[in-house]
Amino acid sequence: MRDSQCRQSLRLRETICIYLTTLLIILGVLVSSFNPPNPRHSPFPYRVPLDPQGVAELDWNVSYSQEVVYFRLLIRQLKFGIIFGMSDRGDIQNADLAVLWSDGQNSYFGDAWTDEEARIHLDTQQDYQLVDAHQSAQGLYLTFKRPFNTCDQRDYIIEGGTVHLLYRFLNRPITSVKSIDLKEMPGGLQRVQLLKPMIHTPPLPSDIKVLEVLAPNVTIPDQETTYWCYISTLPHHLPVHHIVMYEPVITKGNEAIVHHMEVFQCAPELDRIPSYSGPCDSRMKPPRLNFCRHVLAAWAMGAQPFHYPKDVGLMIGGANFSKYLRLEVHYHNPLRLSGRLDSSGIRLFYTPTLRKFNAGILELGLVYTPVMAIPPGEASFELSGYCTSRCTEQSLPEDGIHIFASQLHTHLAGTKVKTILVQGGVEVDIVNVDEHYSTHFQEIRLLQKEITVKPGDVLITSCTYNTEDRSHVTVGGFGINEEMCVNYIHYYPQTQLELCKSAVDINYLQKYFTFINRIDDDRICSCPQVPVTQQFEAVPWSPFSSQVLKAMYDFAPISVHCNKSSAVSFPGNWEGQPLPQVTAALAKSRDHCQRSSHMAPGEATVVQLTANKPGE
Amino acid sequence: MRDSQCRQSLRLRETICIYLTTLLIILGVLVSSFNPPNPRHSPFPYRVPLDPQGVAELDWNVSYSQEVVYFRLLIRQLKFGIIFGMSDRGDIQNADLAVLWSDGQNSYFGDAWTDEEARIHLDTQQDYQLVDAHQSAQGLYLTFKRPFNTCDQRDYIIEGGTVHLLYRFLNRPITSVKSIDLKEMPGGLQRVQLLKPMIHTPPLPSDIKVLEVLAPNVTIPDQETTYWCYISTLPHHLPVHHIVMYEPVITKGNEAIVHHMEVFQCAPELDRIPSYSGPCDSRMKPPRLNFCRHVLAAWAMGAQPFHYPKDVGLMIGGANFSKYLRLEVHYHNPLRLSGRLDSSGIRLFYTPTLRKFNAGILELGLVYTPVMAIPPGEASFELSGYCTSRCTEQSLPEDGIHIFASQLHTHLAGTKVKTILVQGGVEVDIVNVDEHYSTHFQEIRLLQKEITVKPGDVLITSCTYNTEDRSHVTVGGFGINEEMCVNYIHYYPQTQLELCKSAVDINYLQKYFTFINRIDDDRICSCPQVPVTQQFEAVPWSPFSSQVLKAMYDFAPISVHCNKSSAVSFPGNWEGQPLPQVTAALAKSRDHCQRSSHMAPGEATVVQLTANKPGE
């Protein structure tokens, strides 16, 4: 009988059925009471503020055995609910949402989704499952779980890379989720890596020393985006040490504003770097700071302390190491709060007892050159850079190198980045992939497992770009409106190889220009006489010219940069190299998904707010 | 408690749980007892034999309101079960199966699927649902239903075009579906259109006459494939009549061998066609039979009688109509049965009381020319033919024409065919589509709804080809190893327009040959001096040359054939026409799917075989 009532109109269902199923659901909540998986110090080892005022905060944990993420939201000043969810790029359209809402009397929790027009619907399959809800002195704690991959076509699949979280606050009671207008609601977007790798943290040595690279007493500018530059120095005459760990130091209260930070090593060739503490784009910034570009450490919101593998350390100090470090802090201050003081930075842990291996950093991807270009108006245009077998053969030790971390990098148009390991023409492993890459969220990420690259192996780094909002071609280069495709891989043991990248052979590009210019009107192209960027600007862009360019990039020979630390190429001719052939693609990991409890459409869970914490 | 037992090992689950859930399932079968939807003469109006011996037969019905297909299998000599299912092209890999099996004691029914290696697994979501199973004098009747689109990623989606059914017979008892080796089992493949359109059948006029076009006393050759040709004559001095209906006449006992039949009109210009009854490919066949190519009627297995719309008839007789008809019967005789006699054919129903409109047949798609080619090794290569707005403007009446039926046509490599109606640059409707097209199953299909085409509209016909098993290029043409892309649309009122097709502009194709030949070695191409087919043969095929060809076809201007019945073009210059632009694609019909009851993985239904028919 309850069933037949439930099949009445949607509105009725949302109100009547909820009451009728209350008892059942309370039972359900008790049954699925919380057993945190894999506790690592805390049951929720990862934390990120959601909004820039810190009203809402997300803690989470990952169970790889269950393939489930446990989320715990702390909402300090709950009004009539909160919407939390995930979508491809953080948009409120086509999003996958957990909604807590109140009609003024009762509170409800449900799994919902938004359509192309950002209209919100309760989902027929409830995959965000409530585990616990209770009030505390800090605010409301709401704990729920979600499988990585539900079998629901409307649901977001939680993957290893960046996840765009979105949140909205409900400031008035609502009777039905359908009445929510997401476009009108306060809230925002937060990027995190949800699926942190499960890695055993090696113990710190007893002779550990600490160096805090902090930008002291910065008054955070009252503008949305600031990159703050600060020059720090090493202890005098520091002999060679190994950095074995680093962690963020964030001034209390600024957790929601300090977005990410990087420490760069300056070029050892320069004797002196002037001291500086100010915006990185200021005209007052000494030009010499541009020689401090070699990444030493990087942290972004939600990231854990970075531990080097047990036998590995990153060199610092000694004769060939600059005594200057540049700290860059990205303040994200969308509320334009003014007068906030900050002294955040990164704390390096280093030891004089050198470990067995030096860590090295190798740059993969595309050469910074305009020959690699992305046509305008493309939703998804992929470029690939190759580290060829000829280069790895000459540069890597017989036992190979072991990659343990990776930092992906593009400029504004990049949306995906991936590096694949190819052995004997067969794709054998993914070094790193981010299907939701954002230039605004660049972390050094520890890999779930170390990847070994042997002499003769090939590494293919592919970047996908979106240029739908651009009317001009985007060429490769250093400028923020030009593009890059880079994966900095962190590996051991260190080798001489610093850079293994490629770009298309210029002769083939010229044939492309000739063909495209002649196809329509037989005009003779003066192409080779003008710079490549200008030739690209002159292309009549159409699906045709774009598709032929794409086909050409995937076919033409390449010019390979296989460089030693000294920016000098390994011996040999690296021009006109054949494109590495891939005869077998990686088997797609079988679409493994977990069905959650099945509910009638529009059904939601009544939330019992308790004042004490059950089951923890 | 039952639940926890169910979570034991898969093997245990398959044996223990089945017994434990028996009671529940019997109840379930009773509850979902059979209520045939939309009865049309019979509760199962459509019928097709599955195997060439007629051991198994499929009846079915479609409920468009429920979006469900009701299947009824009759298995005359059941041994230990039957496997019935669907897959993209009839392969046993990646198939979606209903399995009835017996362990020697009990019978079970379940929804299963096969993986890439044709290994069989019970599905976690049971979408083939048993409705009834009973023994009768004829054999076992097994009735089950399946939604068009389940929400299961592993399931086949039942669509409007061809469906490849597969079947296997179990000849020994099995303990678990996992032990079934599909590769070793007897069975085969049958193509049908499952989703027949719901169309009201107009009554036949009282003055109806009947003409049976039958090939009498044919001894079916004991070879797998025979196309039998027979010349039939019209009644003497037949004045103009309208064909308003036709239906198959199949010799009893040969239902599983007569695969499809077509009646062709001969060219009225030829006074006499010699009589003939023999294989179509025989050297004894009089050459004049090649002038009998204009389709008048077509039937294929599973097709219903073909009724013209109420006010429409197809002209037959009169001064401008040949008195000769050619009947072509395709015998499919994989068991090479010998000595079978057959007198099948098509029965035409025609009336002297002419209806308001003459039906016309218009040929859409690609011109039969080698300039349209498919590279070798392509899994899915699409070519499009255009009926441009300039042509429809000149040839169609102000109120437009109404398409009510369509016959799609390609040769062996075709896998999909579709015609889209474009108005003002916007895709507005699908005229006809078959996502699982097979050259071996060509029916004239009534459309679910009439499509009106007005002057100025554009019709785009696209065919997708698979040439993975070919090492040479496939060019357009008449030969069986060349390709076609055609949609014969049946419409009213009849106009002068007989053919509206296109091919790429030859000048652009020459630029393509020049570019492709120069890209690698700068050799000068002697292209324009040799025939196009030879130039295509000389192309160094690679993903690059294929992709550039595809991009060129989707970009270059076209040569349009806009022809009257007399094979004479409508006035105007039809060369170098711009490709019709499509600014908005058809909104994808929202992936509407129905979840079926959710079971623990590996659970199956125990089948209670009753000797009488319940619930019918």
Determine contact, residues B419/B432, Cβ cutoff 8 Å. yes
Active site residue A409: yes
Strands B162-169 and B140-147: unpaired
> Residue A255 in contact with residue A49, Cβ under 8 Å?
yes
> Are the CB atoms for A237 and A295 separated by under 8 Å?
no
C-alpha distances out from residue B269 to B248, B264, B266, B445, Å:
29, 15, 9, 29
pLDDT category of residue A417 using cuts at 50, 70 and 90 = very high
pLDDT of residue A479: 79
The Cα–Cα gap between B79 and B98 comes to: 16
Choice between B18 and A37, residue whose per-residue pLDDT is larger: A37
pLDDT of residue A304: 83
* Minimum distance, in Å, between the CA of residue A522 and any CA atom of chain B: 10
pTM for this prediction: 0.80
Residue A278: Cβ-neighbour burial (10 angstroms; 0-12, 13-18, 19+)? middle
**What is the average per-residue pLDDT within A178-199?**
90
The one catalytic residue among A164, A241, A409, A436: A409
SS3 assignment, position B305? coil
User: For residue B249, which phi and psi values (nearest 5 degrees)?
Assistant: -120, 115
**Quick check: helix, strand or coil at residue A533?**
helix
CB atoms within 10 A of CB A298: 22
Total length of chain A: 616
pLDDT for the residue A302: 79
- Res B214: pLDDT: 97
Q: Using an 8 Å CB-CB cutoff, list chain B residues near A508.
A: 519
Give the pLDDT score at B7.
35
DSSP state, A272? -
**B54 confidence band (pLDDT: 50, 70, 90):** confident
Residue B3's pLDDT is 38
Report CB contact under 8 Å: A543, B555: yes
Rg from Cα positions in chain A: 27
CA separation for the pair B406, B433 (Å, rounded): 10
Report the share of chain B in percent with pLDDT over 90. Answer: 66
Question: CA B270 to CA B605: how far, in whole Å?
Answer: 64
Question: Does the bond joining A455 to the residue before it have cis omega, within 30 degrees of 0?
Answer: no
Query: Can you tell me the mean pLDDT for A24-48?
Result: 52
Cα end-to-end span (Å), chain B: 37
User: Pairing state of beta strands A458-465 and A414-423?
Assistant: antiparallel
- For B508, the closest of A519, A551, A555 (CB atoms) is A519
- Of the candidates A518, A547, A552, the beta carbon closest to that of B511 is on A518
B130-179: pLDDT as tens digits: 999 998 999 999 999 999 988 777 889 999 999 999 999 999 998 888 88
pLDDT at A1 over 80: no
Over residues A360-401, the pLDDT tens digits come to 999 999 999 999 999 999 999 999 999 999 999 999 999 999
| Residue-averaged pLDDT of chain A | 87
A151 pLDDT above the threshold of 90: no
Q: How far apart are CA A314 and CA A404, in angstroms?
A: 13
pLDDT digits (tens, 9 = 90+) for A543-586: 999 999 999 999 999 999 999 876 789 999 999 999 999 999 98
For A139, counting Cβ atoms within 10 Å of its Cβ (0-12 exposed, 13-18 middle, 19+ buried), the class is middle
Q: Which residues of A touch B153 (CB under 8 A)?
A: 151, 153, 591, 593
- Find residue A598's DSSP bridge partners: A125
CA–CA dist B304, A432 (Å, integer): 56
User: How confident is the model over B524-540, as pLDDT tens digits?
Assistant: 555 567 899 999 999 99
Task: Report how far Cα B415 is from the mean position of its chain's Cα atoms.
Answer: 10
Chain A: give the shortest CA distance to residue B262, in Å: 42
| pLDDT, position A9 | 35
**Distance between CA atoms of B519 and A510, rounded to whole angstroms?**
10
Share of residues in chain B with pLDDT > 70 (%): 87
Helix (H/G/I), strand (E/B), else coil: A76: coil
- On the question of pLDDT at B605 being above 90, the answer is no
What amino acid is encoded at A352 in this protein?
Answer: P
State the virtual CA torsion across B310, B312, B314, B319 in degrees, nearest 10. Answer: 130
What are the pLDDT digits (tens) for B88-99?
999 999 999 999
Beta strands in A199-323 (DSSP E): 209-214, 218-219, 225-233, 241-249, 258-265, 277-279, 294-300, 306-307, 312-316
Mean pLDDT, chain B, whole residue set? 87
CA torsion through residues A201, A202, A208, A211, sign: negative
Give me the total of CB pairs closer than 8 Å, taking one residue from chain A and one from chain B: 57
Tokens of A496: 């001489």
How do strand A81-87 and strand A96-102 relate by DSSP bridges? antiparallel
A122, β-bridge pairs: A112
Q: In this predicted structure, what is the pLDDT of residue A566? A: 67
Element (H, E) at B72: strand B68-75
Distance (Å, whole) CA B451 – CA B459: 11
| Closest CA relative to residue A490, chosen from A308, A293, A351, A320 | A308
Residue B503 confidence (pLDDT) above 90: yes
Please state the φ and ψ torsions of residue B151, each to the nearest 5 degrees: -95, 20
| Residues whose CB is less than 8 angstroms from the CB of residue A262 and which lie 6 or more positions away in sequence, other chains included | A295, A297, A298, A299, A327, A328
The residue among A364, A353, A443, A356 whose CA lies nearest residue A403 is A364
Q: Indicate the range of A15-19, A175-179, A293-297 predicted with least confidence.
A: A15-19
HEC per residue, A336-397: CCCCCEECCEEEEEEECCCCCEECEEEEEEECCCCCCEECCCCCCEEEEEEECHHHHHHHCC
C-alpha span between B289 and B267 (Å, rounded): 10
- Interface predicted TM-score of the whole assembly (ipTM), two decimals: 0.73
Residue in B409, B455, B412 with CA at minimum distance from that of residue B432:
B409
Query: Tell me: the pLDDT tens digits for A309-342?
Result: 999 999 999 988 999 999 999 998 888 999 999 9
d(CA B230, CA B280): 9
Give how far A599 is from chain B: nearest CA, Å. Answer: 11
pLDDT band for A592, please (50, 70, 90 cuts): low
**pLDDT confidence of residue B611:** 46
In this structure, are residues B414 and B437 in contact, taking their beta carbons and an 8 Å threshold? Answer: yes
Rg of chain B (C-alpha set): 27
**Whole-number pLDDT of residue B96:** 94
What sign results for the dihedral spanned by CA atoms A226, A227, A229, A234? positive
Give me A401's structure tokens: 């190198």
Q: Which of A128-137, A328-337, B122-131 has the lowest mean pLDDT?
A: B122-131
Q: Which residues of B touch A598 (CB under 8 A)?
A: 595, 598
Is residue A609 helix, strand or coil? coil
Are A543 and B550 in contact (CB < 8 Å)?
no
At B525 the pLDDT is: 55
Mutate to test the interface with B, among A525, A547, A581 (most CBs of B within 10 A): A547
Amino acid at A459: L
Instruction: Give the closest-approach CA distance of A600 to chain B in angstroms.
Output: 11
Q: Catalytic: which of A121, A141, A227, A508?
A: A227
Length of chain B equals 616
